[in-house]
Amino acid sequence: MTGPLSGLRVVEFSAIGPVPFCGMLLADMGADVLRLDRVNDPGLGIGKDQRFDVLGRGKRSVAVDLKRPQHVKLALDLAARADILIEGYRPGVMERLGLGPEVCLARNPRLVFGRMSGWGQDGPLAMSAGHDINYVGLTGALHAMGRPHDPPPPPLAIVGDFAGGAMMLIFGLLCALLEAQRSGKGQIVDAAIFDGVNLLMAPFHALLRAGRWLDRRGANALDGGAPWYDSYETADGKYLSVGAIEDKFYEEFLHVLQLDPASLPQRSDREQWPALRTAFAAAIKRRKRDEWASLFAESDACVAPVLSMGEVASHPHSVARRSFVEANGFAQPAPTPRLSRTPASIGRKGPTPGEYGEAALLDWGVTHNEIAAFRDSGGLCT
């Protein structure tokens, strides 16, 4: 692997959501990520074509049964050789397996032990099950999304799992890793989706406390309440996104729509927002989405087409930025951010349980005899 994290060793205990996403980011940047899968793990239903296991790209796999002492020993040996360990079990599971942070840090004092959970390692909800929508719901973020008289819509899991979870985890891991290089001491990173989404909501809490945010859906400048920050249907049933917040952008927006500002209510008057919205909706409905996109392309009105997922890769900006790259047989989102001297890259396709495992174990210093004994005990590494 190449990239800024080349030479970094990461043990990833197989999980769903934020843990594999975090592992993918590390692998994209060059880390040697060894995923410990479960023997006979049914997977996530992506089918037999591992090309589409995007979250597994660049990783290698060893399949273990952590009910077997020999396999726990192997996992502990790998933790002793790793720089980072990431896991997403409920609190206490790693300890019951004999792989808790105290045990691992005793073997490897420089280890950064990353723990990813929904609610955190303590607190009254720590042991409760949950999914993205539940964590986002308890932070107030879900309450702030959607139309005023409709139930909050389920957001994509990028809000909780990936933004509040994986991105906070990887930030904590790299902070702890940098500190370990100075002190020689590792530590535990307790990343909770609940905490992460609360942090993402920090500026909105500040606006609320300052009296500049109404604590209800669809009533504010950035939640669809303001008619100049919303999506509008076009003549072909598609949509246009409008973010004309600043005065100069708003003026340009009206100019392209061919709406006379003198004929419209003052936008500072909240009581007139419905009338403004009606005027914008009627104007935008006159043309197709791509016609509007062409008209707004050279303006600073902060207007862009709402693309479907299938359209994104072929958009001229995506093409120019190489935001999607062909890898492992299909176009997929490219690693980001861009580094000038040590760029990231997409590695091999996501492994099946145990795939590329023998080479990984040898690279990590496990002997041929130990690998043979591991296979004899029911482990998978090919």
Contact call for residues 72 and 377 (beta carbons, < 8 A): no
**Cα angle: 90, vertex 159, 115; to 5 degrees:** 25
Each residue of 301-352: pLDDT tens digit?
Answer: 999 999 999 999 999 999 999 999 999 889 999 999 999 999 999 999 999 9
213 within domain boundaries: no
Choose the final residue of a domain: 285, 312, 339. Answer: 312
Tell whether 282 and 338 lie within a shared domain. Answer: no
Query: Residue 356: pLDDT above 50?
Result: yes
Domain count, the chain: 2
Query: Residue 45: pLDDT above 50?
Result: no
317 within domain boundaries: no
Tell whether 42 and 125 lie within a shared domain. Answer: yes
Q: Give the containing element (helix H, strand E) for 74.
A: helix 69-81
**Tokens 């210093």 belong to which residue?**
365
Catalytic residue among 41, 131, 143, 315: 131
CATH of the domain at 272: 3.30.1540.10
Distance CA 351, CA 58 (A): 8
Q: Could you tell me the pLDDT band of residue 46, with boundaries at 50, 70 and 90?
A: very low
The bridge status of strand 112-117 relative to strand 32-38 is: unpaired
Tell whether 131 and 83 lie within a shared domain. Answer: yes
Tell whether 169 and 68 lie within a shared domain. Answer: yes
The CA–CA distances, whole Å, from 365 to 352, 357, 359, 361 equal 22, 12, 10, 6
Tell whether 118 and 240 lie within a shared domain. Answer: no
Helix (H, G, I), strand (E, B) or coil at 17: coil
Each residue of 204-250: pLDDT tens digit?
Answer: 999 999 999 999 999 999 999 999 999 999 999 999 999 999 999 99
Catalytic site residue 131? yes
Closest CA to 350 of 132, 27, 73: 27
Contact call for residues 359 and 73 (beta carbons, < 8 A): no
Tell whether 258 and 365 lie within a shared domain. Answer: no
Catalytic site residue 205? no
Catalytic residue among 28, 37, 132, 161: 161
HSE-CB of 118 using CA atoms within 13 angstroms? 20
Each residue of 172-193: pLDDT tens digit?
Answer: 999 999 999 999 999 999 999 9
- Boundaries of domain holding 44: 9-200+324-376
CATH of the domain at 195: 3.40.50.10540
Closest CA to 347 of 10, 28, 35, 5: 28
Each residue of 266-275: pLDDT tens digit?
Answer: 999 999 999 9
